[in-house]
Structure 1
Amino acid sequence: MPRDRWLSDEYIRERLSIASKLARSFRVDEFKVMFFVPVGDERICDLAEELGFNVCRERRELIICVKR
């Protein structure tokens, strides 16, 4: 994982684009484990929203929903 914030954001965006091709929804903790992303949940959700994902914040679970 890059130490520079811009590079780490790009790394996460790349992983989110890969996740979007899987066409399923992910809880943020699942996403972090699958793609080895050691960043706070809110940062991942913010970047996911920037990329056009639906981010559902329900029952204290952050879920990244792939838009169809």
Structure 2
Amino acid sequence: MKHVFTVTGMSCGHCVRAVTQAIRALDPQATVQVDLDAQRVEVESEQPRPALADAIRDEGYTVVD
């Protein structure tokens, strides 16, 4: 299932790695694409959307939707 999140606070490669690792800790099979300019994170995962959003928030980023 594809999930698209608007995430604020991301600005560099470290942010991309942090978000990607947080999601893959929840679902090692997840596909993660981060677009820093658009503040967008696309996740292909069978995990529930709220759990994925919480994983991103736990890294210190704000999930807008």
Higher helix share: 1
TM-score, normalising length: structure 1: 0.40
